[in-house]
Protein backbone atom coordinates (compact mmCIF):
# COMPACT_ATOMS: atom_id res chain seq x y z
CA UNK A 1 0.00 0.00 0.00
CA UNK A 2 2.86 2.38 0.88
CA UNK A 3 4.64 1.72 -2.40
CA UNK A 4 1.40 2.29 -4.34
CA UNK A 5 0.88 5.59 -2.53
CA UNK A 6 4.40 6.73 -3.45
CA UNK A 7 3.78 5.93 -7.11
CA UNK A 8 0.50 7.83 -6.97
CA UNK A 9 2.20 10.89 -5.47
CA UNK A 10 4.92 10.79 -8.14
CA UNK A 11 2.24 10.56 -10.85
CA UNK A 12 0.51 13.66 -9.45
CA UNK A 13 3.82 15.52 -9.39
CA UNK A 14 4.49 14.55 -13.00
CA UNK A 15 1.06 15.81 -14.00
CA UNK A 16 1.76 19.13 -12.30
CA UNK A 17 5.15 19.34 -13.97
CA UNK A 18 3.80 18.42 -17.41
CA UNK A 19 1.04 20.99 -17.07
CA UNK A 20 3.68 23.72 -17.05
CA UNK A 21 4.96 22.62 -20.49
CA UNK A 22 7.86 24.80 -21.59
CA UNK A 23 8.26 26.94 -18.52
CA UNK A 24 8.46 30.65 -19.17
CA UNK A 25 9.95 33.53 -17.17
CA UNK A 26 7.64 34.53 -14.31
CA UNK A 27 5.50 31.38 -14.51
CA UNK A 28 4.28 30.04 -11.15
CA UNK A 29 4.61 26.29 -10.61
CA UNK A 30 2.79 24.48 -7.80
CA UNK A 31 4.21 21.15 -6.61
CA UNK A 32 2.13 18.99 -4.21
CA UNK A 33 3.96 18.13 -0.98
CA UNK A 34 3.83 15.30 1.53
CA UNK A 35 5.05 15.56 5.12
CA UNK A 36 7.54 13.37 6.97
CA UNK A 37 8.46 13.25 10.65
CA UNK A 38 12.01 14.14 11.58
CA UNK A 39 14.55 16.73 10.46
CA UNK A 40 15.33 15.01 7.15
CA UNK A 41 18.24 16.67 5.30
CA UNK A 42 18.07 19.75 7.55
CA UNK A 43 19.89 20.59 10.76
CA UNK A 44 17.81 20.40 13.92
CA UNK A 45 16.29 23.60 15.27
CA UNK A 46 14.74 24.24 18.67
CA UNK A 47 13.03 27.11 20.45
CA UNK A 48 12.98 27.96 24.16
CA UNK A 49 9.93 27.35 26.33
CA UNK A 50 9.70 30.90 27.63
CA UNK A 51 7.24 31.65 30.49
CA UNK A 52 4.15 33.65 29.56
CA UNK A 53 3.88 37.16 30.95
CA UNK A 54 2.00 37.59 34.19
CA UNK A 55 -0.90 39.99 33.69
CA UNK A 56 0.50 42.55 36.15
CA UNK A 57 3.90 42.64 34.42
CA UNK A 58 4.37 46.07 32.73
CA UNK A 59 6.35 44.40 29.93
CA UNK A 60 3.35 42.21 29.11
CA UNK A 61 1.68 44.92 27.01
CA UNK A 62 0.06 44.31 24.56
CA UNK A 63 -0.17 40.58 25.33
CA UNK A 64 -1.78 40.85 28.81
CA UNK A 65 -5.23 39.73 27.65
CA UNK A 66 -4.24 37.23 24.98
CA UNK A 67 -3.57 34.18 27.17
CA UNK A 68 -6.58 31.84 27.54
CA UNK A 69 -7.09 30.40 31.01
CA UNK A 70 -5.77 26.87 31.52
CA UNK A 71 -7.08 24.20 33.87
CA UNK A 72 -6.11 20.86 35.32
CA UNK A 73 -2.64 21.76 36.59
CA UNK A 74 -1.63 19.05 39.11
CA UNK A 75 -2.36 20.36 42.61
CA UNK A 76 0.81 18.83 44.05
CA UNK A 77 3.10 20.60 41.59
CA UNK A 78 5.26 23.44 42.87
CA UNK A 79 6.96 26.33 41.04
CA UNK A 80 4.71 25.88 38.00
CA UNK A 81 5.85 27.57 34.77
CA UNK A 82 3.38 28.13 31.94
CA UNK A 83 4.63 28.53 28.37
CA UNK A 84 2.73 29.24 25.17
CA UNK A 85 4.20 28.43 21.75
CA UNK A 86 2.71 30.37 18.84
CA UNK A 87 2.02 28.18 15.82
CA UNK A 88 0.91 31.13 13.68
CA UNK A 89 1.84 34.57 15.03
CA UNK A 90 -0.20 36.45 12.41
CA UNK A 91 -3.38 34.49 13.16
CA UNK A 92 -2.77 34.90 16.90
CA UNK A 93 -2.62 38.70 16.59
CA UNK A 94 -5.50 38.86 14.10
CA UNK A 95 -7.96 36.87 16.19
CA UNK A 96 -7.02 38.59 19.44
CA UNK A 97 -7.62 41.97 17.83
CA UNK A 98 -11.15 40.94 16.86
CA UNK A 99 -11.68 39.51 20.34
CA UNK A 100 -10.76 42.91 21.78
CA UNK A 101 -7.62 41.63 23.48
CA UNK A 102 -5.15 43.74 21.45
CA UNK A 103 -5.78 47.41 20.60
CA UNK A 104 -5.57 48.90 17.11
CA UNK A 105 -2.42 50.93 17.84
CA UNK A 106 -0.54 47.76 18.82
CA UNK A 107 -1.71 46.00 15.67
CA UNK A 108 -0.62 48.99 13.57
CA UNK A 109 2.84 48.84 15.16
CA UNK A 110 3.10 45.09 14.57
CA UNK A 111 2.04 45.48 10.94
CA UNK A 112 4.77 48.06 10.45
CA UNK A 113 7.42 46.10 12.37
CA UNK A 114 6.63 42.80 10.66
CA UNK A 115 5.96 44.45 7.28
CA UNK A 116 2.69 42.56 7.41
CA UNK A 117 -0.47 43.23 5.45
CA UNK A 118 -3.09 40.71 6.67
CA UNK A 119 -4.33 38.32 3.99
CA UNK A 120 -7.93 37.91 5.12
CA UNK A 121 -8.40 34.84 2.89
CA UNK A 122 -5.93 32.96 5.09
CA UNK A 123 -7.00 34.34 8.47
CA UNK A 124 -9.97 33.82 10.76
CA UNK A 125 -11.68 36.49 12.86
CA UNK A 126 -13.09 33.71 15.02
CA UNK A 127 -10.51 32.26 17.42
CA UNK A 128 -8.76 29.08 16.37
CA UNK A 129 -6.13 26.98 18.13
CA UNK A 130 -3.04 28.63 16.64
CA UNK A 131 -0.87 28.03 19.72
CA UNK A 132 0.02 25.22 22.11
CA UNK A 133 0.41 25.36 25.90
CA UNK A 134 3.23 23.56 27.75
CA UNK A 135 3.60 23.58 31.55
CA UNK A 136 6.28 22.33 33.89
CA UNK A 137 6.65 22.08 37.66
CA UNK A 138 8.22 20.13 40.51
CA UNK A 139 6.23 17.00 41.31
CA UNK A 140 6.16 15.00 44.53
CA UNK A 141 9.56 13.47 43.78
CA UNK A 142 11.13 16.91 43.53
CA UNK A 143 11.88 16.44 39.84
CA UNK A 144 10.61 18.85 37.20
CA UNK A 145 7.93 17.22 35.06
CA UNK A 146 6.46 18.56 31.82
CA UNK A 147 2.98 18.35 30.31
CA UNK A 148 1.88 19.29 26.79
CA UNK A 149 -1.74 20.17 26.06
CA UNK A 150 -1.74 17.72 23.15
CA UNK A 151 -5.46 18.00 22.36
CA UNK A 152 -5.28 21.80 22.73
CA UNK A 153 -8.30 22.21 24.99
CA UNK A 154 -6.51 24.27 27.69
CA UNK A 155 -7.21 21.46 30.17
CA UNK A 156 -4.28 19.42 31.48
CA UNK A 157 -6.38 16.99 33.51
CA UNK A 158 -6.47 14.67 30.49
CA UNK A 159 -2.68 14.83 29.87
CA UNK A 160 0.15 12.76 31.31
CA UNK A 161 3.31 14.31 32.81
CA UNK A 162 6.73 13.21 31.58
CA UNK A 163 10.39 13.88 32.26
CA UNK A 164 12.00 15.27 29.09
CA UNK A 165 15.12 13.69 27.63
CA UNK A 166 18.41 15.34 28.56
CA UNK A 167 20.40 16.90 25.73
CA UNK A 168 23.37 19.14 25.03
CA UNK A 169 23.61 21.94 22.49
CA UNK A 170 24.93 20.73 19.11
CA UNK A 171 25.08 17.20 20.50
CA UNK A 172 21.94 15.17 21.18
CA UNK A 173 19.29 17.47 19.75
CA UNK A 174 18.87 15.74 16.41
CA UNK A 175 17.81 12.42 17.93
CA UNK A 176 14.82 11.86 20.19
CA UNK A 177 12.80 9.00 21.66
CA UNK A 178 9.74 10.74 23.07
CA UNK A 179 7.50 12.53 20.57
CA UNK A 180 3.97 13.81 21.17
CA UNK A 181 1.21 14.38 18.59
CA UNK A 182 -0.38 17.78 19.09
CA UNK A 183 -3.64 19.05 17.62
CA UNK A 184 -4.13 22.55 16.23
CA UNK A 185 -6.17 24.50 13.66
CA UNK A 186 -5.47 25.97 10.24
CA UNK A 187 -7.53 28.15 7.91
CA UNK A 188 -7.86 26.51 4.50
CA UNK A 189 -10.01 27.99 1.75
CA UNK A 190 -11.68 30.19 4.35
CA UNK A 191 -12.59 27.27 6.61
CA UNK A 192 -11.17 26.10 9.91
CA UNK A 193 -9.57 22.66 9.69
CA UNK A 194 -7.81 20.47 12.24
CA UNK A 195 -4.23 19.37 11.71
CA UNK A 196 -1.53 17.59 13.71
CA UNK A 197 2.17 18.06 14.44
CA UNK A 198 4.86 15.98 16.17
CA UNK A 199 6.37 17.82 19.16
CA UNK A 200 9.51 17.09 21.18
CA UNK A 201 10.62 18.73 24.45
CA UNK A 202 14.17 18.39 25.77
CA UNK A 203 16.03 19.49 28.89
CA UNK A 204 19.52 21.02 28.54
CA UNK A 205 21.10 21.07 32.04
CA UNK A 206 24.24 22.92 30.88
CA UNK A 207 22.31 25.98 29.67
CA UNK A 208 21.44 29.04 31.82
CA UNK A 209 18.54 28.23 34.16
CA UNK A 210 15.88 30.18 32.25
CA UNK A 211 16.82 28.54 28.91
CA UNK A 212 16.97 24.86 29.85
CA UNK A 213 13.69 23.67 28.31
CA UNK A 214 13.63 23.48 24.51
CA UNK A 215 10.96 22.40 22.04
CA UNK A 216 10.78 21.49 18.35
CA UNK A 217 8.27 20.26 15.79
CA UNK A 218 10.30 17.70 13.80
CA UNK A 219 8.43 17.65 10.51
CA UNK A 220 9.46 18.61 6.98
CA UNK A 221 7.84 18.51 3.54
CA UNK A 222 8.93 16.68 0.39
CA UNK A 223 8.15 17.15 -3.27
CA UNK A 224 9.81 16.68 -6.69
CA UNK A 225 10.24 18.58 -9.91
CA UNK A 226 10.94 17.07 -13.32
CA UNK A 227 13.57 18.77 -15.49
CA UNK A 228 14.29 17.29 -18.93
CA UNK A 229 12.79 13.98 -17.85
CA UNK A 230 14.88 13.76 -14.66
CA UNK A 231 13.21 13.76 -11.23
CA UNK A 232 14.80 16.08 -8.66
CA UNK A 233 13.65 15.72 -5.05
CA UNK A 234 13.16 18.89 -3.01
CA UNK A 235 12.93 19.03 0.79
CA UNK A 236 11.18 21.95 2.51
CA UNK A 237 11.75 23.08 6.10
CA UNK A 238 9.47 25.46 7.96
CA UNK A 239 12.05 26.10 10.66
CA UNK A 240 10.83 23.38 13.08
CA UNK A 241 9.75 26.03 15.62
CA UNK A 242 6.28 26.40 14.07
CA UNK A 243 4.36 25.11 11.05
CA UNK A 244 4.22 28.67 9.70
CA UNK A 245 4.90 28.73 5.95
CA UNK A 246 6.77 32.07 5.88
CA UNK A 247 9.87 30.22 7.04
CA UNK A 248 9.95 27.85 4.03
CA UNK A 249 13.56 26.93 3.20
CA UNK A 250 14.53 24.52 0.42
CA UNK A 251 17.30 22.06 -0.29
CA UNK A 252 17.86 19.70 -3.20
CA UNK A 253 18.12 16.21 -1.74
CA UNK A 254 20.78 15.29 -4.32
CA UNK A 255 23.09 17.95 -2.88
CA UNK A 256 23.18 16.27 0.54
CA UNK A 257 25.27 13.16 1.15
CA UNK A 258 23.50 10.22 2.76
CA UNK A 259 23.70 10.43 6.54
CA UNK A 260 24.53 14.15 6.42
CA UNK A 261 22.40 17.28 6.53
CA UNK A 262 22.44 20.87 5.31
CA UNK A 263 23.55 23.71 7.53
CA UNK A 264 21.21 26.68 7.82
CA UNK A 265 23.19 28.91 5.43
CA UNK A 266 23.18 26.16 2.79
CA UNK A 267 19.38 26.19 2.47
CA UNK A 268 17.38 28.42 0.11
CA UNK A 269 15.23 30.94 2.01
CA UNK A 270 11.98 32.48 0.87
CA UNK A 271 12.51 34.78 -2.11
CA UNK A 272 15.86 33.26 -3.12
CA UNK A 273 16.71 30.96 -6.02
CA UNK A 274 16.84 27.19 -6.24
CA UNK A 275 19.12 25.98 -9.04
CA UNK A 276 18.16 22.62 -10.56
CA UNK A 277 19.52 20.39 -13.32
CA UNK A 278 22.12 20.72 -16.07
CA UNK A 279 21.87 23.02 -17.92
CA UNK A 280 20.85 24.92 -14.80
CA UNK A 281 17.27 26.11 -14.33
CA UNK A 282 16.44 28.69 -11.66
CA UNK A 283 13.27 28.95 -9.58
CA UNK A 284 12.41 31.55 -6.94
CA UNK A 285 11.20 30.04 -3.66
CA UNK A 286 7.69 31.41 -3.05
CA UNK A 287 7.11 29.11 -0.09
CA UNK A 288 4.50 26.59 0.98
CA UNK A 289 0.82 27.23 0.40
CA UNK A 290 -0.72 25.50 3.42
CA UNK A 291 -4.25 25.89 2.07
CA UNK A 292 -3.35 23.81 -1.00
CA UNK A 293 -0.47 21.74 0.41
CA UNK A 294 1.81 22.82 -2.41
CA UNK A 295 5.24 24.38 -2.82
CA UNK A 296 5.17 27.43 -5.08
CA UNK A 297 8.12 28.19 -7.34
CA UNK A 298 8.51 30.95 -9.93
CA UNK A 299 10.58 30.48 -13.06
CA UNK A 300 13.38 33.07 -13.27
CA UNK A 301 15.97 33.76 -15.93
CA UNK A 302 19.60 32.84 -15.49
CA UNK A 303 20.65 36.48 -15.33
CA UNK A 304 18.31 37.45 -12.47
CA UNK A 305 20.48 39.41 -10.03
CA UNK A 306 18.58 39.14 -6.75
CA UNK A 307 21.20 39.65 -4.03
CA UNK A 308 21.81 36.94 -1.46
CA UNK A 309 25.07 37.11 0.47
CA UNK A 310 26.88 33.76 0.61
CA UNK A 311 30.07 32.51 2.21
CA UNK A 312 32.99 33.92 0.22
CA UNK A 313 31.10 37.03 -0.95
CA UNK A 314 32.15 40.51 0.13
CA UNK A 315 29.62 41.80 2.65
CA UNK A 316 27.93 44.93 1.33
CA UNK A 317 29.62 47.98 2.90
CA UNK A 318 27.51 50.32 5.05
CA UNK A 319 27.79 53.64 6.82
CA UNK A 320 25.30 54.11 9.67
CA UNK A 321 24.92 55.56 13.18
CA UNK A 322 25.13 53.81 16.53
CA UNK A 323 21.56 53.94 17.85
CA UNK A 324 22.53 55.11 21.36
CA UNK A 325 25.68 57.19 20.83
CA UNK A 326 25.01 58.46 17.27
CA UNK A 327 28.64 57.75 16.47
CA UNK A 328 29.47 56.58 12.94
CA UNK A 329 29.68 52.84 12.33
CA UNK A 330 31.47 52.39 9.01
CA UNK A 331 32.05 48.84 7.84
CA UNK A 332 35.19 49.65 5.86
CA UNK A 333 36.82 51.10 8.99
CA UNK A 334 36.53 47.64 10.57
CA UNK A 335 38.67 45.99 7.88
CA UNK A 336 41.52 44.03 9.41
CA UNK A 337 39.24 42.62 12.11
CA UNK A 338 36.80 39.74 12.24
CA UNK A 339 33.32 41.28 12.48
CA UNK A 340 30.23 39.46 13.70
CA UNK A 341 27.06 41.14 12.36
CA UNK A 342 23.76 40.14 13.98
CA UNK A 343 20.38 41.05 12.41
CA UNK A 344 17.82 40.86 15.22
CA UNK A 345 14.76 42.57 16.66
CA UNK A 346 13.16 43.11 20.06
CA UNK A 347 9.95 41.60 18.63
CA UNK A 348 11.76 38.38 17.63
CA UNK A 349 11.63 35.81 20.42
CA UNK A 350 14.46 33.70 19.00
CA UNK A 351 16.63 36.80 18.60
CA UNK A 352 16.18 37.92 22.19
CA UNK A 353 16.73 34.42 23.55
CA UNK A 354 20.18 34.18 21.94
CA UNK A 355 21.46 37.50 23.35
CA UNK A 356 22.66 36.18 26.76
CA UNK A 357 24.81 33.57 24.99
CA UNK A 358 26.21 36.20 22.61
CA UNK A 359 27.05 38.44 25.56
CA UNK A 360 29.00 35.56 27.13
CA UNK A 361 30.98 35.12 23.91
CA UNK A 362 31.60 38.86 23.53
CA UNK A 363 33.05 39.33 27.03
CA UNK A 364 35.81 36.84 26.17
CA UNK A 365 36.73 38.04 22.65
CA UNK A 366 39.97 39.81 21.81
CA UNK A 367 38.70 43.31 20.98
CA UNK A 368 41.85 44.13 19.01
CA UNK A 369 41.00 41.41 16.52
CA UNK A 370 37.21 41.18 16.78
CA UNK A 371 34.14 43.41 16.71
CA UNK A 372 30.42 42.77 17.05
CA UNK A 373 27.73 44.90 15.38
CA UNK A 374 24.02 44.48 16.03
CA UNK A 375 21.42 45.61 13.49
CA UNK A 376 18.01 46.02 15.13
CA UNK A 377 15.54 45.24 12.38
CA UNK A 378 11.97 46.43 11.78
CA UNK A 379 11.90 47.90 15.28
CA UNK A 380 10.31 50.87 17.00
CA UNK A 381 12.92 53.35 18.37
CA UNK A 382 11.14 53.76 21.71
CA UNK A 383 10.80 50.03 22.22
CA UNK A 384 14.45 49.47 21.25
CA UNK A 385 15.68 52.17 23.65
CA UNK A 386 13.58 50.69 26.46
CA UNK A 387 14.86 47.18 25.71
CA UNK A 388 18.51 48.26 25.67
CA UNK A 389 17.94 50.03 28.96
CA UNK A 390 16.93 46.74 30.55
CA UNK A 391 19.40 44.53 28.66
CA UNK A 392 22.46 46.61 27.77
CA UNK A 393 24.46 45.21 24.86
CA UNK A 394 28.13 46.10 24.93
CA UNK A 395 28.61 46.25 21.14
CA UNK A 396 27.30 48.93 18.73
CA UNK A 397 23.64 48.71 17.77
CA UNK A 398 22.30 50.13 14.51
CA UNK A 399 18.59 50.62 13.87
CA UNK A 400 17.75 49.55 10.33
CA UNK A 401 15.45 52.36 9.19
CA UNK A 402 14.21 54.04 6.01
CA UNK A 403 17.53 55.89 5.65
CA UNK A 404 20.06 53.03 5.79
CA UNK A 405 17.51 50.21 5.16
CA UNK A 406 20.12 47.56 5.92
CA UNK A 407 17.55 44.74 6.06
CA UNK A 408 16.39 45.38 2.50
CA UNK A 409 19.90 46.14 1.22
CA UNK A 410 21.10 42.73 2.41
CA UNK A 411 17.85 40.92 1.54
CA UNK A 412 17.38 39.59 5.07
CA UNK A 413 14.19 37.53 5.12
CA UNK A 414 14.47 35.58 8.40
CA UNK A 415 15.52 36.45 11.94
CA UNK A 416 17.87 36.10 13.60
CA UNK A 417 20.37 36.19 10.73
CA UNK A 418 24.08 36.71 11.22
CA UNK A 419 27.39 36.93 9.38
CA UNK A 420 30.99 36.50 10.45
CA UNK A 421 33.09 38.77 8.22
CA UNK A 422 36.82 38.17 7.74
CA UNK A 423 39.54 40.86 7.85
CA UNK A 424 39.26 41.19 4.05
CA UNK A 425 35.54 42.00 4.21
CA UNK A 426 34.44 38.60 2.89
CA UNK A 427 31.83 36.42 4.59
CA UNK A 428 33.46 33.56 6.48
CA UNK A 429 30.32 32.05 8.04
CA UNK A 430 26.61 32.77 7.80
CA UNK A 431 23.91 32.00 10.39
CA UNK A 432 25.98 30.23 13.03
CA UNK A 433 24.97 29.56 16.63
CA UNK A 434 26.68 31.28 19.55
CA UNK A 435 28.48 28.05 20.46
CA UNK A 436 29.76 27.63 16.88
CA UNK A 437 30.81 31.28 16.85
CA UNK A 438 32.82 30.81 20.05
CA UNK A 439 34.58 27.74 18.59
CA UNK A 440 35.40 29.52 15.32
CA UNK A 441 36.74 32.63 17.06
CA UNK A 442 38.83 30.47 19.40
CA UNK A 443 40.30 28.53 16.46
CA UNK A 444 41.52 31.74 14.79
CA UNK A 445 42.93 33.32 17.95
CA UNK A 446 40.15 35.85 18.50
CA UNK A 447 39.37 34.86 22.10
CA UNK A 448 41.27 36.05 25.17
pLDDT digits (tens, 9 = 90+) for 221-273: 999 998 888 899 999 998 888 887 667 889 998 888 887 888 777 788 888 88
* pLDDT attached to residue 18: 40
Ordered strands of the 397-399 beta sheet? 397-399, 370-376, 338-344, 417-421, 427-430
- Please say whether the beta carbons of 393 and 379 come within 8 A: no
Average pLDDT estimate for 403-410: 80
Q: Please list, in sequence order, all residues whose beta carbon lies within 8 angstroms of the beta carbon of residue 96, skipping any fewer than 6 positions away.
A: 65, 66, 102, 127
Residue-by-residue DSSP string for 269-295:
-TTSEEEETTTTEEEEEEEEETTTTEE
Q: What local confidence, expressed as pLDDT, does residue 302 receive? A: 58
> What's the sign of the alpha-carbon dihedral 342, 345, 350, 354?
positive
Residues 259-307: tens digit of each pLDDT = 788 877 778 888 888 888 888 888 989 888 877 889 999 998 755 555 6
**Structural domains of the chain, ranges and CATH numbers in brackets:** 25-42+219-300 (no CATH), 47-216 (no CATH), 319-443 (3.40.30.10)
Percent of the chain with pLDDT over 90: 50
Number of neighbours of residue 360 by Cβ within 10 angstroms: 12
- Residue 415's pLDDT band, with cuts at 50, 70 and 90, is confident
Is 205 in contact with 166 (CB distance < 8 Å)? yes
pLDDT digits (tens, 9 = 90+) for 354-396: 899 999 999 999 999 999 999 998 888 888 998 999 889 999 9
Residue 151 pLDDT > 90: yes
Highest-confidence range of 125-129, 191-195, 431-435, by mean pLDDT? 125-129
Cis bond upstream, residue 62 (ω within 30): yes
**Rounded CA gap, 405 and 417, in Å?**
15
Amino acid sequence: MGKYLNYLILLVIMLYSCRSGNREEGQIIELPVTYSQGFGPFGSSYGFLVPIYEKNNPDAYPWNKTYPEIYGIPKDWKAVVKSMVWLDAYQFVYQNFYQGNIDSSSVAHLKQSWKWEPDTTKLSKLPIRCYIYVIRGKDRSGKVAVMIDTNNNCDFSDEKPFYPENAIRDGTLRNYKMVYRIEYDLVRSGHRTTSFLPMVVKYLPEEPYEYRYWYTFPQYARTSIIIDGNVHEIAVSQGFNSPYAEESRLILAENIQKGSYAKFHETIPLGQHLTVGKPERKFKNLGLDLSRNTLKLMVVSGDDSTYFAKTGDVFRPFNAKDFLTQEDVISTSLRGKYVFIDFWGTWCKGCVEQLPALRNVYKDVNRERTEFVGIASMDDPKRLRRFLGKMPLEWPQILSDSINDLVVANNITSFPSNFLIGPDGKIVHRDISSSELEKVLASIGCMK
